[in-house]
Amino acid sequence: MLFFIGNNYSGFMTNSIYEMIRASFRCEDMVKCVLGFKSLKIDAYKVLLIHGLLTAEKMGEILNRERSTAYRSLQNLIACGIA
């Protein structure tokens, strides 16, 4: 499994959350690691937090992605119980 540490990818797994924090993990890196989220899902969640309820079309415009991609991101967030 690859972990993102700072601006570099590392091919080794850290042993604990504490080690991740000491390795300069950002909050987004923790979410990616712990919840398995990809950048697009994190970005979609941020858009919802900032803009509130949106259509998939509007979210796609904000994310500069196709409506169908934004819709899938919304579906994934709903399935996770986050949106």
Summarize pLDDT for 43-73 with one digit per residue, the tens.
898 899 899 988 999 999 999 999 999 999 9
Domain limits, the chain: 3-35, 39-79
What are the pLDDT digits (tens) for 17-51? 666 666 666 766 666 666 667 888 888 988 998 99
In three-state form (DSSP H/G/I as H, E/B as E, the rest C), the secondary structure along the chain is CCEEECCEEECCCCCCHHHHHHCCCCHHHHHHHHHCCCHHHHHHHHHHHHHCCCCHHHHHHHHCCCHHHHHHHHHHHHHCCCC
pTM (whole model) above 0.85: no
